[in-house]
Amino acid sequence: MEKTLKSGLQVKTLGRCMASFCPEPATMVATFISSHYTPEPWGYCGGHVASVFVDDESYERRRVGGSLRRRSGYEIRETNETEAAELAWEHGAEERWKAEGRIGEYRRITELHAADTVDGMLVDAWTAGACVALHDALSEKNRERWLAMTTAQQCEVAVHLTMGGR
């Protein structure tokens, strides 16, 4: 899944490189150069900046479509301070979720759009999103009560309330 950070930098979830299936954190920024519109800057790992963005000759020589891009058509730079801070936050998400307990598991499922089991119960991204929305909106007292429930109860209450049921 792709994600646009507040600075406008586009990366894969968890602040990863935009190249397909790359698990590396993004550390560099490539922006298409256009006089017609303002393209979003894309985050890449150092390895892919070197292998994807090639000189004109290599670009012309490529045989089949593929993922090569003409380096001269892009501005390639290191992340600025704002982008680096945002990426560090994204890169630290897994650890934050782990430290947070069950609500962290819901955040993880929501962010990665991937169903997973929570205490033995399969929770989809939509339901997990309802749990996160409810958790973050509850008062401290009600949050404690909700957190004390079983996973099944938490999901049921969250879906019921966020759907507007009363």
Query: Residue numbers of the site for Zn ion (CB under 5 A)?
Result: 17, 19, 22, 24, 45, 48
Distance CA 161, CA 165 (A): 5
Provide, rounded to whole angstroms, the least separation between the CB of residue 16 and Zn ion.
8
Return the number of the residue (45 or 118) whose C-beta is nearest Zn ion.
Answer: 45
Return the number of the residue (67 or 153) whose C-beta is nearest Zn ion.
Answer: 67
Q: Which two tokens stand for residue 47?
A: 């390895």
Return the number of the residue (48 or 108) whose C-beta is nearest Zn ion.
Answer: 48
Provide, rounded to whole angstroms, the least separation between the CB of residue 150 and Zn ion.
40
Provide, rounded to whole angstroms, the least separation between the CB of residue 131 and Zn ion.
32
Return the number of the residue (18 or 130) whose C-beta is nearest Zn ion.
Answer: 18
Return the ∠ at Cα 130 (arms to 124 and 132), rounded to 5°.
100
Cβ neighbours for 164, distance < 8 A, ≥ 6 positions apart: none
Return the number of the residue (23 or 164) whose C-beta is nearest Zn ion.
Answer: 23
Distance CA 29, CA 49 (A): 8
Please, what sign has the CA dihedral across residues 95, 100, 105, 110? negative
Tell me how long the chain is: 166
Provide, rounded to whole angstroms, the least separation between the CB of residue 19 and Zn ion.
4
Distance CA 113, CA 128 (A): 9
**Which residues make beta-bridge pairs with 30?**
42, 76
Provide, rounded to whole angstroms, the least separation between the CB of residue 103 and Zn ion.
31
